[in-house]
Amino acid sequence: MIDPASCTSRLMMSIRKNVSIRSDGRRLTQPLSKRHNAIPVLGVDGAFSAVRQSMQLKIGNFQYDESYLAHGYKELTIPPGPDGSWRMEKNALHIWPRKSFMMIALPNPDGSFTCTLFWEFEGPRSFATMKSHEDVRRFFEEEFPDAVPLMPTLLEDFRENPTGSLVTIRCAPWYYRDKVCLVGDAAHAVVPFYGQGMNAAFEDCVVLDECLEEFPENRDRAFAEYFRRRKENADALADLAIGNFIEMRDKTASKTFRAKKKLDHALEAALPGIYLPLYTMVTFTRMPYAKAAKRAQIQDALVYASLLLIAAILVTAMLWLIAT
């Protein structure tokens, strides 16, 4: 792993002492190269990276795309039970799928759950229309009646907790000569529905470290190689994360979807190491995201083709039996 003492502290030093940032924290006022030529800067300053904004100013053909979901999110709490234990199954991701929106709950070590409501910002029924405690109470009782008794601070949490936005950021390149390199959300913010944003940032660190080791005398090349190895995977994760939002909010309640998941698990058990569901590849292996997505597409095509073939054989056999 990259030594934080040698890299992150340099970044913090560069940001705090050598590079001016506007009071809104979102923009460097001077190009990096004019201020500090010798020390490379690692931009690990998150989705709204000031370092990346400086690169936008410096690099003529810098590609940048930021897209927001129409949905925002609000965090709410289910506190622990009276004996300090979890009030729902703790070894699970709880999902209340409601087609165009959803709520999820994840267990915390202290016996509580953090619930997150993902909902449209605007619209006839949306965050925008929640004007009073009564609106909020009615909405939750209609949509999540089983959760309401577990959420004693629901109304206060809803009023006081901010409504966050969900952004996907793609940019290129992630480096400027041998001087600046972006890592984590600064290079590729993704929506949180695959739970991989932080992991992707750690993977960046591993790959950057490998590249710096491979090209110890040529930092420019190491940065370029790191970008080449990671970019397609970050893009693949961005697509997977948006796809999983639709899957979680819309499809988890569908019988066909559940049947496909059961088939996935059955095939995984029957063909260990050969058939791997997409979620398993992304979450429990170090397979690069782009490779996992491609492999899942091929697996799905084979499974659907096999099912069609089996159905065709059965129909042919039945017709043959009827005819004879």
Ligand X SMILES: Cc1cc2nc3c(=O)[nH]c(=O)nc-3n(C[C@H](O)[C@H](O)[C@H](O)COP(=O)(O)OP(=O)(O)OC[C@H]3O[C@@H](n4cnc5c(N)ncnc54)[C@H](O)[C@@H]3O)c2cc1C
Residues lying near ligand X in the complex (CB under 6 A):
15, 21, 25, 44-46, 50, 73, 164, 184-186, 192, 195-199, 201
DSSP string, 142-166: HH-TTTGGG-TTHHHHHHHS--EEE
From CA 267, how far away is CA 37, in angstroms rounded?
55
Torsional sign, CA 52, 54, 60, 65? positive
Our CB check for ligand X shows the closer of 9 and 297 to be 9
Our CB check for ligand X shows the closer of 46 and 80 to be 46
- End-to-end CA, the chain: 70
Our CB check for ligand X shows the closer of 197 and 288 to be 197
Find out whether 219 and 178 touch, Cβ atoms under 8 Å. Answer: yes
Closest distance to ligand X from the beta carbon of 53 (Å):
9
Our CB check for ligand X shows the closer of 93 and 310 to be 93
Closest distance to ligand X from the beta carbon of 153 (Å):
19
Our CB check for ligand X shows the closer of 46 and 79 to be 46
Q: Give every CB contact of residue 88 below 8 A, 6+ residues apart in sequence.
A: 78, 94, 105, 107, 113, 150
3-state class percentages of the chain: helix first, strand second, coil last, to nearest 5? 50, 15, 30
Closest distance to ligand X from the beta carbon of 186 (Å):
6
Closest distance to ligand X from the beta carbon of 133 (Å):
24
Closest distance to ligand X from the beta carbon of 36 (Å):
15
Closest distance to ligand X from the beta carbon of 253 (Å):
22
Our CB check for ligand X shows the closer of 26 and 294 to be 26
* Cβ burial, residue 187 (10 Å; 0-12/13-18/19+): buried
From CA 67, how far away is CA 190, in angstroms rounded?
10
DSSP string, 26-41: S-BSS-HHHH-SSS-E
How many residues are recorded in the chain? 324
